[in-house]
Amino acid sequence: MSGEELPTKEASVLRGHEGGVLAARFNGDGNYCLSCGKDRTIRLWNPHRGIHIKTYKSHGREVRDVHVTSDNSKLISCGGDRQIFYWDVSTGRVLRKFRGHDSEVNAVKFNAYASVVVSAGYDRSVRAWDCRSHSAEPIQMFKFMIFQIIDTFQDSVMSVCLTDSEIIAGSVDGTVRTFDIRTGRELSDNLGQPVNCISLSNDGNCVLASCLDSTLRLLDRSSGELLQEYKGHVCKSFKLDCCLTNSDAYVTGGSEDGYIFFWDLVDASIVSRFRAHASVVTSVSYHPKDDCMISASVDGTIRVWRR
């Protein structure tokens, strides 16, 4: 198995949100992290020193997701006010608001070049927005292709991932759908259970899907084959993040009872399980290089974990 050690020791607690934290994400180099939540704010932290750096306020309702560009200059956020906000990180200014979703927006992601943002919403759609144009309309072109709105889902779209040529999205309709940006082709894998979060393995070969039957499912990206299922946690009514560790040797995710779980990727055995928060663990984010992780919770805290 890999040489990595699991980050199960609490290193610090980041406090400041007034209410539940819905997502916490490391930035690209892992030096900082962003959090967002019920108090309508986004917060920037140095998690390694336990320091709060900046608060971003403009959303009218809870903030459900946040993502930062690889150069750390811009961030994108979304939430219950149906809007997507495009921010300047250093000044805290909102540079643009993207409007078009008919209901709450659940997830946002930049593409690798930070030129496009893709959002997923309760209105059963995935939309792409051009960060470089001054229009707040969905874009017509995505790199070299054709789409602005994908509306083939039967229910709320909860989570989205991007590769250079694909958009992958998970929906409450029980599907993980992959859209090839170059050809316009759509592939759909039906898991038979509501999907509330997806993430990609670091080698790009697999999709990990969190489902509302308290099961994580690992899919082969090329064939759609179900490779493994991970159980033991509780996930029935909340959107809970899941991800793989840096070596892809372990799967990790939160639980509605406050626990964090680590499973062996191959045999799906629980290799670690510990009480991390006083309430639902909404979010886990792995450091891009180190054996370090942050978690966020309805209890209002973000916690930093080390090996």
Say if residue 251 is exposed, middle or buried (CB neighbours under 10 Å; 0-12, 13-18, 19+): buried
In whole angstroms, give the CA distance from residue 198 to residue 216.
9
Decide: 109 and 162 in contact? Cβ < 8 Å.
yes
Does 129 reside within a domain?
yes
Residue 130 has pLDDT above 90, yes or no: no
How many structural domains are present in the chain?
A: 1
DSSP state of 5: P
> Rounded distance, CA 60 to CA 260, Å?
31
The pLDDT of residue 2 is above 90: no
Please check the confidence at residue 182 and state whether its pLDDT lies above 80. yes
Neighbouring CB atoms inside 10 A of 223's CB total 9
Weakest mean pLDDT among 10-14, 147-151, 212-216, 223-227: 147-151
**Helix or strand holding residue 243 (H, E):** strand 242-244
Alpha-carbon span 249 to 88, nearest angstrom = 36
Judge whether residue 194 has pLDDT over 90.
Answer: yes
Cα–Cα distance for residue pair 296/249, rounded to 1 Å: 23
Quote the CA–CA distance of 143 and 89 in Å, as a whole number: 25
What is the rounded CA–CA span in Å between residue 171 and residue 229?
18
Domain of residue 283 covers: 9-306
Does 1 fall in a domain? no
User: What CATH number does residue 14 fall under?
Assistant: 2.130.10.10
Write down the pLDDT at residue 15: 98
pLDDT digits (tens, 9 = 90+) for 153-179: 999 999 999 999 999 999 999 999 999
Residue 4 within any structural domain of the chain: no
Q: What is the DSSP letter of 6?
A: P
**Distance between CA 41 and CA 35 in Å, rounded?**
8
Pick the closest to residue 210 from 243, 178, 183, 187 (CA basis).
243
Residue 307, C-beta contacts closer than 8 angstroms, at least 6 positions apart: 5, 6, 7, 8, 9, 291, 292
Cα separation of 189 and 225, whole Å? 9
Q: Note the pTM of the prediction, 2 decimals.
A: 0.94
How would you class 58 by CB atoms within 10 Å of its CB: exposed for 0-12, middle for 13-18, buried for 19 or more? Answer: middle
Q: What is the pLDDT of residues 34-86, one digit of tens each?
A: 999 999 999 999 999 999 999 999 999 999 999 999 999 999 999 999 999 99
pLDDT tens digits along 132-145: 876 555 544 444 33
Contact 165, 180 (CB under 8 A): yes
Residue 14 domain flag:
yes
Residue 3 confidence class, pLDDT cut points 50, 70, 90: low
Using CA atoms, how far apart are residues 206 and 191, in angstroms rounded to an integer? 14
Q: What is the pLDDT of residues 257-302, one digit of tens each?
A: 999 999 999 999 999 999 999 999 999 999 999 999 999 999 999 9
Mean pLDDT of the chain: 94
CB 117 within 8 A of CB 109: yes
